Amino acid sequence: MEPNSSADAVAASVAAESVARLTALFRNQSKFHLGGKENWSISSELVDFLLKTLHPGQATLETGAGFSTVIFAMFRCRHICVCPDVGEMERIRSFCAGNAIAMDTVTFINEPSQIALPKLQMGELDLVLVDGGHGFPVPQIDWFYTSYALKIGGLSVIDDIELWSCHILSAFLKKETGWCSLGDIGHRTAVFEKTESFDYKEFCDQPYVVEKSRMRSLVLKARRVLSLIGSGNLGELRHRIKKLSA
């Protein structure tokens, strides 16, 4: 028998027990949102992904709060939860206290993420879950500021990609250098690995923006041509065609 096989077996047993417990908690979770009236939970597929991905001691951050916060706490991650709703924080704390889940490794930041993140000292992060405000451009703001802190090899998880504001971020990242798409989780979540140092890029260095801008430019030119034809301004049309062919 290998010297550490007994320890490995114990660790595997503890992990299996934790998964079973979290699965049961997920089925019976409280209503954390909208004053305790609703539960806007992450998907079961994302729960499974987090169970397989997280490790104790990892540095993690999420925008928004809910059952995902419970998972980060149970895995003993050094977790930052950015959520402006104090009531949600208290309901999550109460749920965890009632289920013997320690919250001492979780730090709540009770401000909107667009206010909190630009000034927040995040350290180096292993995983970020973007799942806070979904109105444009909040998902983009959350991704942008946390990307500086995310370590190379760290994961940026974009939830609710069925919404346009989150879908456009996922589509952008699938074409962006410095990010590797690890695929979608179910129908709601996209995962990206950071593969190189992050910094702001101008639009001409962003493949997705260049592609969409080229298409938009062609549409606008076509509309202008049709407008000139419709108005009978053929002289201006000939001038533009001559200029393009010069």
Residues near 8 by Cβ (< 8 Å), separated by ≥ 6? 2
What does each of the 246 residues of the chain score in pLDDT, given as a tens digit?
454 566 555 445 445 666 777 777 777 777 787 677 667 788 889 999 999 999 999 999 999 999 999 999 999 999 999 999 999 999 999 999 999 999 999 999 999 999 999 999 999 999 999 999 999 999 999 999 999 999 999 999 999 999 999 999 999 999 999 999 999 999 999 999 999 999 988 988 888 888 888 765 555 555 665 665 666 666 655 665 666 565
Q: Is 88 left (phi over 0), alpha (psi -120 to 50) or beta?
A: alpha
Q: Which secondary structure element, helix H or strand E, spans residue 213, and what is its range? A: helix 207-231
Rounded-to-integer distance, Cα 166 and Cα 134, Å? 7
- Please name the residue that has the structure tokens 């009531």: 87
pLDDT score at 11: 45
Rounded-to-integer distance, Cα 163 and Cα 40, Å? 14
- Please name the residue that has the structure tokens 């009770």: 110
pLDDT score at 20: 76
pLDDT score at 23: 74
- 120-149 in b/e burial notation, b at 16+ Cβ within 10 A? bebeebbbbbbbbbeeeebbbbbbebbbeb
- Say how many C-beta atoms besides its own lie within 10 A of residue 163's C-beta: 15
Looking at the DSSP bridge assignments, the partners of residue 81 are 62, 108
pLDDT score at 14: 46
CA quadruple 213, 129, 83, 105: dihedral sign: negative
- Please name the residue that has the structure tokens 């062919």: 245
pTM of the model: 0.81
